[in-house]
Amino acid sequence: MLLVVAAFIVAFVLLLYMISPLISPKPLKLNGAHVVVTGGSSGIGKSIAMECYRQGAFITLVARDESKLVQAKKEVEKCAINDKQVVLCISVDVSKDYGQVESVIKQCQEKLGPVDMLVNCAGTSFSGKFEEVEVERFRSLMEVNYLGSVYPTRAVIPTMKERRMGRIMFVSSQAGQIGLFGYTAYSPSKFALRGLAESLQMEMKPYNIYVTIAYPPDTDTPGLAEENRTKPLETRLISETSGVTQPEQVAKIVVKDAIVTMGLFRTVALFYLGSFDSIVRRCMIEREQSKAADKRE
C-alpha cells in the first residue's frame, strides 16, 4: 500500500517536472502591448494583426508592397477596441539587408515603444517537382522564410533581454514537420525555423522571453492561391487529406498559444529540456555573480 502511494507521488513529481517547461509564469496581456507582425499585409499575418488589435495591441505591420500595407492597415483599424490604438506600417524586405531590418525595428520602437511580441509571418511558398524547380528558388525560399525570420528576431532580442520580457513567434507549416512531395524547396526552409525556434528558446528562457512556433495546414490566403498555380497533382491530393483552414482560425490559435500556453511545440525530450534549462540558468547566475564581484573590486 505504502509503496503504491510512494510510486504515485514519485510519478506525480516527475510529471510536474516534465511539464514545467510548458508552463508559463504569466500570460502576456496584449492590451497596450506593441506587436510587430512581419508579413502583416496579407493572409495569415494580417489575420494575426487583426486578432491582436481586437485584444487592444498597438501594431507595426512590416512587408514590402506599400499599397497592400495601407489597405491592410485600414482593415486592422476596423478591429479597434479603444481610440488610443495605432497601426504603423513600414515597408522593408525582411530577408535582404540586416542593417535595414534593424533600423526598421528601431524606428517602430521609437514610435510605439519597445516590442513586446514579434510575429515572424513574412514568407512565400512554392511547390513543384524537384528537378523542375529553378535552382535559384532553393536559395530565395531559404532567404525569405529562414533569414527573413532570423533578421527581425535578431533585431528585437537585445531590448527584450534588457527588459527581461518578450514573445517571439515563428510561422512554420505542416510541411515544416514532415517533408512532402512537391515541397523540396519549401519544406527545408520551414524545418530550419524549427531548429532556430527550439535553440533560441533555450537561450532566451532565463530572460523570460518565450518562443513559439506554429505549424499551420493549408490556409485560404493569396499566398496559397499563388502556390496552387504550380502545384503538382500528387501534392494537391496529399494536401487535400488535411483540408483548407481559414486564416482567422489559424490566427486565433497561434495568438493564444503565444500569449498563454507557450512553448507547447517542445513535445520531444521534455525531460532533457528541463535539465538543460537548469544548466543554462546556472551558467547565467554564475556569470552574473562574477560580474558583480568584478565590479566590487
What residues make contact with ligand VSD under the rule CB under 6 A?
A: 125, 173-175, 177-178, 180, 217-218, 223-224, 227, 238-239, 241-242
- Answer with the entry of ligand NDP, ligand VSD, none that 238 interacts with (C-beta below 5 to 8 A by kind): ligand VSD
Among 104, 115, 119, 122, binds ligand NDP (CB under 6 A): 122
Shorter beta-carbon distance to ligand NDP: residue 108 or 273: 108
CB 131 within 8 A of CB 185: no
- Answer with the entry of ligand VSD, ligand NDP, none that 239 interacts with (C-beta below 5 to 8 A by kind): ligand VSD
Helix (H, G, I), strand (E, B) or coil at 32: coil
Residue 152 makes contact with ligand NDP by CB under 6 A: no
Residue 94 makes contact with ligand NDP by CB under 6 A: yes
186 is catalytic: yes
Shorter beta-carbon distance to ligand NDP: residue 145 or 201: 145
- Answer with the entry of ligand VSD, ligand NDP, none that 177 interacts with (C-beta below 5 to 8 A by kind): ligand VSD
Q: What are the beta bridge partners of residue 118?
A: 36, 168
Contacts (CB under 6 A) with ligand NDP, residues 12-41: 38-39, 41
Distance CA 250, CA 21 (A): 24
E strands in 224-290: none
Distance CA 201, CA 129 (A): 34
DSSP state of 266: -
Shorter beta-carbon distance to ligand VSD: residue 58 or 265: 265
Residue type, position 125, single letter: S
26 is catalytic: no
Shorter beta-carbon distance to ligand NDP: residue 143 or 277: 143
Catalytic residue (choose from 53, 146, 186, 215): 186
Residue 45 makes contact with ligand NDP by CB under 6 A: yes
Closest CB to ligand VSD belongs to which residue? 173
| Terminal Cα distance for the chain, rounded | 59
Kindly list the distances between the CA atom of residue 179 and the CA atoms of 63, 97, 145, 175, in Å, as whole numbers in the listed order.
Answer: 28, 29, 16, 6
CB 245 within 8 A of CB 198: no
Residue 171 makes contact with ligand NDP by CB under 6 A: yes
- CB-based contacts of 143: which residues, under 8 Å, 6+ apart? 95, 96
Record the cell numbers describing residue 261, joined without a space. 500556453
**Which of 16, 10, 13, 53 is CA-nearest to residue 35?**
53
The footprint of ligand NDP on this chain (CB under 6 A) covers a number of residues equal to 31
Query: Applying CB under 6 A, which residues contact ligand NDP?
Result: 38-39, 41-45, 63-65, 68, 93-95, 121-125, 144-145, 148, 171, 173, 216, 218-219, 221-224
Q: Which residues are catalytic?
A: 172, 186, 190
